[in-house]
Amino acid sequence: EADIYQTPRYLVIGTGKKITLECSQTMGHDKMYWYQQDPGMELHLIHYSYGVNSTEKGDLSSESTVSRIRTEHFPLTLESARPSHTSQYLCASTDLGGRQETQYFGPGTRLLVL
């Protein structure tokens, strides 16, 4: 099983709150990703990073922001949460030096904004 961790696993917050979803991996992987998974199961890429100080927007527009100050850490922040942000957020990572294509996923954070 991949060593990629997400906290919290579940979060219920009120509208307007600022939240940060944590993602850490201990595999030394260069590339990391954030996906949003809607109730219909589909995975949407919202952010990715090639390495430290690199952040890119994904295919789905998102009001969230990310940072990559350390290789192992890729947090996602919502400055002002809204009910439309209710979803499951999945973090993943890839080893650019190894099996470049294989993405390893964390367990996810299920967010509910009231």
Kindly list the residues in this chain that would bind other proteins in the complex (CB under 8 A).
1-2, 4, 6, 31, 40-43, 45, 48, 59, 90-92, 94, 96, 100-108
> Minimum Å distance from CB 19 to other proteins?
19
> Minimum Å distance from CB 80 to other proteins?
26
What DSSP state is assigned to residue 97? T
Nearer to other proteins, 17 or 60 (CB): 60
Nearer to other proteins, 16 or 107 (CB): 107
Which residue's structure tokens are 């809607």?
A: 38
Nearer to other proteins, 28 or 107 (CB): 107
Looking at the chain, the number of H-run helices and the number of E-run strands are 0, 11
* Rounded Cα distance, 105 and 91, in Å: 6
Residue 39: asked if its preceding bond is cis (omega within 30°), the reply is no
